[in-house]
Chain A
Amino acid sequence: MTKKTSTASTSGPILEVNDLKVYFDTEEGEVKALENVSYQIQRGQVLGMVGETGSGKSVSAYTVMGLLPKPPGKILKGSVKFKGEEILGLPDKRMRKIRGNDLAMIFQEPMTSLNPVFTIGDQMQDVLQAHNDWDKPKATEQAIDALKAVRMKDPEMVLKKFPHELSGGMRQRVMIAMALSCDPELLVADEPTTALDVTIQAQILGLLKEMQKNFHLSVLLITHNLGVVAQNCDAICVMYAGNIVEYGTSEQIFHRPVHPYTRGLIKAIPPVEGESTHLNIIPGVVPNLIHPPEGCRFHPRCERAKKGKCDSQVPSMADVENDPGHRVNCFFPYLPEDGGVA
């Protein structure tokens, strides 16, 4: 089958998101879910998107996948380029072709993304046949290969099972096998291990790492878990209240964070190494995005906010001085020399 489209280029970033603005209409008012969101994923790179509840990380992923429910969602501005081709606003038929083939996604709760009344085999064959010109035996053979690739024991047996007969970890392996069965170039993983126990989480994270290497995949990994991004990502976007507040390599983000929110967040994790009797807190709560704060959305909770600036003007992403590739969305960031917190 042919995968490459005529407009798609083979060099440059695999995904380019530019100035994305996404709102939701709700009964209470308009939720300003994403504003000024721009980022890129290079080929073969794992980009982590980390943030707390309501920071916009999942909305960002759904927008990229063309899965944003419209209404209530609306994309007011921005562009999403996949291999150089604009995919925002593509006709559904064309988008369906890209999704699954070139662009795949796995979700937090595999039980809700698998159909409970069909066997794993039925569902995997369905996906494979929808995207390839294969007969059933060929699709079955490929499904078995895909399950073997995610180190599933006894794949023939698994094909005959229904989703509820598998454990959470097994279901997530099936989801990964399904997502990778059509050999995509970009995998979007939305909290793929959040519903799993920690020893099973480690297995799935290890598996994702292995798959990423073997298939030279690019990955957008969305999580609230700072440990997961630190261990699994090349680059990290930190999100807060619908904005990207900081971008950098995992070393830059963890060893010399410059945005006050990033620093606060990292210091709020109870340390596994060393002792502590008091955790750093970020005062206040995440703002309501129907009426987000004026100016910088973090300013009401910020220790460095200045009156007349942060409460009225909106900062934009800018390079961090003397730290190539490190970017921050703040008028008064810390300096990389201020040292690490991790």
Chain B
Amino acid sequence: MMAIVEVKQLTRKFKVLRGALGKNASITAVNNVSFSIEKGETLGLVGESGCGKSTTGKMLLNLLAPTSGEIVFEGQSISGLSESKFKPFRRNIQIVFQDPYSSLNPRMTIFDLLRRPLKIFKITSSKQEEQELIQSTLSQVGLKPEHTTRYPHEFSGGQRQRVAVARAILTSPRFVVLDEPTSALDVSVQAQIMNLLLDLKTRLGLTYLFISHDLSVIKFISNRIAVMYLGYIVEVAKTREMFANKLHPYTRLLFQSIPVPNPSIKMEYKIDTGELPSLLRPPKGCPFATRCPRKMPRCEQQKPVLKDVGDGHLVSCFLYE
């Protein structure tokens, strides 16, 4: 198997202004993150607000430039490319955002929205071809031909997300970043979109990076899961292995926190599990040390690194050294 995407020691810092004097400070949203995604695989990137999962996704699309590190797509380095140099890759790397209300231009009909990528990448050579491709893509995502003349506001949230998916697959990409694609949707609609995404992946031979805060959704779609916390990847494992044998104390906390929709499984809520530290004052050692129930003295001083504990299960924790 060949990796379609390789991310090597990716770091992204943001400058922020602090205090009344506007003193410069910076936060590290993504910190030395490395992973690879195999062709045809879905890697789930899970974590809570501010863990860096969306920043990572945006860097893969060249929507944000990495501060350091490298992104390799099909063997070619794509990080830090200018927009014109990146253009040939953009056709193959697409993204679907969380909120279809803000990712679709409200002044354009669905036809115009979908025609743009075809024009930009010169995918079709005639009006008729254009028409046919748009129609067939719409039917692939479960929309009807007559929908092309409508505007985004005439659709429900689920239908709008179908339009966003149609736009992403229109250029026949090989890799799609899905950034919380169902988080704004109701459960019954989420199920429709999840089924669609899984179906398209198989049918079109796509590779996904699926970003979400919702473990049940991540589990449904991912072959492998990477857990992020405070800018770091703390654990990576195949989905089944992750659910059966979670190692990192943060992964455990995350899994224990999901309210299970089954009253026979009684959850123990822990009230004093602490809060996320500020990225402006990150912990010196392990990022999770401030909240970790199994903290050791060295955790406050040293940073653990991701290590393979067997069969591709990676964990960044001194407990497993």
Contact = CB atoms under 8 A, between A and B. Distances in A.
| Residue among B158, B189, B275 having the largest count of chain A Cβ atoms under 10 Å | B275
Contacts of A275: 240
Given A278-B195, A281-B195, A230 B275 contact: no
A169 B276 CA distance: 10
Nearest to A253: B263
Contact of B48 (A198, A205, A264, A342): A198
Contact of A206 (B156, B190, B216, B271): B271
B263 A269 contact: no
A265 B187 contact: yes
B283 to A, nearest CB: 16
Given A255-B264, A279-B191, 8 more contacts: A209-B269, A230-B261, A230-B262, A231-B269, A255-B263, A271-B216, A272-B258, A285-B159
A265 B271 contact: no
B254 A285 contact: no
B147 to A, nearest CB: 14
Contacts of B263: 230-231, 250-251, 254-255, 342
Given A151-B272, A203-B271, A254 B262 contact: yes
Contacts of B156: 285-286
Contacts of B159: 285
21 contacts: A197-B49, A198-B215, A199-B257, A203-B273, A210-B271, A224-B187, A225-B259, A227-B258, A230-B259, A254-B262, A268-B187, A268-B188, A272-B215, A272-B243, A275-B240, A279-B195, A280-B191, A285-B156, A285-B159, A286-B156, A342-B261
B272 A254 contact: no
B262 A52 contact: no
| Residue among A52, A199, A266 having the largest count of chain B Cβ atoms under 10 Å | A199
B264 A251 contact: yes
Contact of B190 (A167, A202, A268): A268
A169 B272 CA distance: 12
Given A167-B275, A202-B269, A205-B269, A270 B260 contact: no
A79 B275 CA distance: 43
B141 interface: no
A255 B108 CA distance: 46
Interface in B242-295: 243, 253-254, 256-264, 266-267, 269-273, 275-276
B223 to A, nearest CB: 12
Nearest to A285: B156
Contact of A230 (B216, B240, B260): B260
Contacts, number: 135
A342 B240 CA distance: 20
A257 B291 CA distance: 39
Contacts of B158: 285
Q: Place the interface of chain B in its size category.
A: 35 or more
Interface in A166-210: 167, 169-170, 197-203, 205-207, 209-210
Nearest to A231: B259
B191 A228 contact: no
A206 B186 CA distance: 24
A115 interface: no
Given A198-B48, A227-B261, A231-B263, A270 B275 contact: no
A282 B185 CA distance: 14
Contacts of B275: 167, 169-170, 200
Interface in A122-165: 151
A245 to B, nearest CB: 13
Contacts of A276: 220
B94 to A, nearest CB: 23
Given A198-B213, A203-B269, A282-B188, A277 B198 contact: yes
A202 B270 contact: yes
A198 B254 contact: yes
Interface string A247-269: 00011001100000000111011
Given A167-B276, A198-B257, A201-B257, A52 B195 contact: no
A270 B220 contact: yes
Interface string B217-259: 1011000000000000000000010010000000001101111
A203 B220 contact: no
Nearest to B250: A199
A40 B264 CA distance: 24
A53 interface: yes
B40 to A, nearest CB: 15
Contacts of A170: 275
A111 interface: no
A226 interface: yes
Contacts of B258: 198, 227, 272
B192 interface: yes
Given A205-B259, A278-B195, A270 B217 contact: yes
A202 B256 contact: yes
A203 to B, nearest CB: 5
Contacts of A224: 186-187
A231 B260 contact: yes
A167 B279 CA distance: 13
A199 B267 contact: no
Nearest to B263: A250
| Residue among B198, B253, B260, B262 having the largest count of chain A Cβ atoms under 10 Å | B262
B59 to A, nearest CB: 22
A206 B189 contact: no
A198 to B, nearest CB: 5
B155 to A, nearest CB: 10
A232 B156 CA distance: 31
Nearest to B275: A167
Interface in A273-328: 273, 275-282, 285-286
